[in-house]
Structure 1
Amino acid sequence: MLHVLTVVLPVFGLMGLGYAARAVGYVTDRTGEGLSDFVFAVAIPALIFKTLTAADLPTSQPWGYWFSYFGGVLVTWTLATVVARKFFAVSHVEGVVAGFTAGQSNTVLVGIPLILEAFGPEGAVPLFLLIAIHLPITMTTATVLAEGRGVPVRRILRQLVTNPLLIAIAVAVLAREAAPTGLPGAAKTIVDMLGAAASPCALFAMGIALRRYGMGDQPVLAVILSSLKLVVHPLIVLMLARYVFTVPPTWTGVAVMFAAMPCGVNAYLFAERYRTGVAISSGAIAISTAVCVATSAIWLAIMGVR
């Protein structure tokens, strides 16, 4: 429990700093928007590139592992979208933001240190495998859903091929082939520095947005999305991994804890990109990040980690 606390508190603390800085007028809303643009267009792509080029990928695909985790994403995302649209009368894109918020995990900020501490070196391969495809799949899905209604296919494809995150994935794949030993020293340092800036900048910007938008006029929706993320998502993954696909214990534990992480900042960045649903995502991220101090400890106990 103490370890979970030491991991989560700095995350929530950075959001608090952004919130406080905006509250006293030290920074403006434009600061948050600029930081969000930087994170989405530069820092997160650098982090994706770094992760994909360093990942040790297996020769065969662990299909049961994929189906278990993304089956949970599918159910959680769908439930969140239906609830948001049916009971809270949100727009189409806001419904996409709600689903993305409930289905996207905060892996980089909370998941990596927590999962590696819990499962040790044996958890590294399944963890980084999931990280390598988690964001591309969820971001692509969100983009298609947001752009796909009544929009020409050509426009959808243009949105995808010009998406900085997807460009980073393509460049990383090419880099693995062209430079299997990795980037030269100076280039690697630049990529590492940009990637390292992603988390603090995103969290600080999210704190500014939380001050600007608060919980919006639908705080209940933020609570529901947090509950779906912290309880429903990991529960479905556990059921699928343990009783349907018989995934090995360590891989099951990694998938469950990955799902049990709070709502990820990429949902907020996506909302900022479309300038809609920001209050929904920022509120759910704040609530789930605070509550996961307790829920993470419970899920670790369920998975037999002490």
Structure 2
Amino acid sequence: MSALFDVILPVFLVVGFGYVICWRGMLSEVAVDGIMRFAQNFAVPVLLFQAIAKLDLGANFDPFLLLAFYIGAFLSFGVGMGAARLWLKRPLEDSIAIGFVCLFSNSLLLGIPITERAYGPDALEGNFTIIAIHSPLLYTFGITVMEFARARGQNLSVGRVALRALSGVLHTPLVIGILCGLVMNLLTQAGLVMPEGFWGAVKMLASAALPAALFALGGVLYRYRPEGEMRAIALCCVASLLLHPGVTFGLGKLFDLSVAEMRSSVVTASMAPGVNAYLFASLYGVAKRVAASAVLVATALSVLTIWFWLSVLP
């Protein structure tokens, strides 16, 4: 019970505060979009830059940690896309977008604060190991699959479709922050020493990232209230909240991950789909209502499922 009140509740209170503020009309949609744009395009990329720049790459990039998390993620995508196509009879592009909702857990805006509150700031190395390739890998995969689906009958070469997907990924602020952090990490290992004033400014901006993003997330979720499509929404919730962490937990046991790695991988896998899942659907104009509603419903349900996974983990 203490995990619910001490770990999960503070994070969701910030999200709920943003939700209530927008519900009562104290902030306009334009203002909420501005806060979210600041968080996602500037503060969060700086947070990722700081984390990756100071990450011990050799010590923390455990392939079994990544396999446990990403096998679960891609299996959730396959189940979500396959069920949407075969069971719900959705068009192929819709099915891919629904699969992406099942694939893209909110590893950063919810995963980081939940893990930090549960296990302390020193427990985040595994989280950042996962996050370092999360957006680049999943966006590249999702965009590539969608572009190939949309290119049917257009006689586009594989190289051209892949180049279009890579271009879209490299223009993502989160990916830019990760890549800049990786470059800084390598330069630091080569002997570059940045002044303390630089890191002080980075820390100030990074510290604003999660509170601003969580608050804005509440405002964004208020906008996307569920409307029908309950079978598709239920599919997304089951895949993201139960299947993904369940597979990750089982593989973590099989791969004999350390306690810290189990915590990071399973907690991250148990997060609800992120707003980026809706943005992906919106980018292609398919399954937007399902994606938006699934993000909202799964985020609310994740209060209980996260509590469950925290009780299971050592």
Interval containing the TM-score (normalised by the shorter chain): 0.7 to 0.9
Deviation at 1:125, TM superposition (A): 3.6
Determine helix, strand or coil for the equivalent of 1:58: helix
Give the fraction of aligned pairs with identical amino acids, expressed as a percent.
Answer: 28
Determine helix, strand or coil for the equivalent of 1:247: coil
- Give the equivalent residue in structure 2 for 1:12: 12
TM superposition score normalised by structure 2: 0.79
Aligned partner letter, 2:186: E
Deviation at 1:98, TM superposition (A): 2.8
- Give the equivalent residue in structure 1 for 2:311: 301
- Give the equivalent residue in structure 1 for 2:82: 82
2: CA distance, partners of 1:182 / 1:287: 46
- Give the equivalent residue in structure 1 for 2:234: 223
RMSD: 3.2
Determine helix, strand or coil for the equivalent of 2:21: helix
Aligned partner letter, 1:106: N
- Give the equivalent residue in structure 2 for 1:126: 126
Deviation at 1:113, TM superposition (A): 4.5
- Pairwise mapping of residues 1-306 of structure 1 onto structure 2 (< 5 A)? 1-59=1-59, 61-88=61-88, 94-116=94-116, 118=118, 123-149=123-149, 150=151, 152-153=160-161, 154-180=163-189, 183-243=194-254, 245-271=255-281, 277-303=287-313, 305=314
Task: Check 1:220–1:22 CA distance in 2 against 1; reply closer, same or farther (3 A cut).
Answer: farther
Task: Check 1:110–1:139 CA distance in 2 against 1; reply closer, same or farther (3 A cut).
Answer: same
Task: Check 1:116–1:160 CA distance in 2 against 1; reply closer, same or farther (3 A cut).
Answer: closer
- C-alpha contact (below 8 Å) 2:80/2:99 kept by paired residues: yes
Unmatched runs of 5 consecutive residues or more in structure 1: none
TM superposition score normalised by structure 1: 0.81
1: CA distance, partners of 2:210 / 2:280: 15
Task: Check 1:3–1:24 CA distance in 2 against 1; reply closer, same or farther (3 A cut).
Answer: same
Deviations 1:75-103 (A, max 9, x none): 01221223334445656555444333322
Task: Check 1:111–1:24 CA distance in 2 against 1; reply closer, same or farther (3 A cut).
Answer: closer
- C-alpha contact (below 8 Å) 1:222/1:284 kept by paired residues: yes
Deviations 1:281-300 (A, max 9, x none): 44333333333333223223
Unmatched runs of 5 consecutive residues or more in structure 2: none
- C-alpha contact (below 8 Å) 1:51/1:132 kept by paired residues: no
2: CA distance, partners of 1:50 / 1:143: 27
Deviation at 1:183, TM superposition (A): 4.2
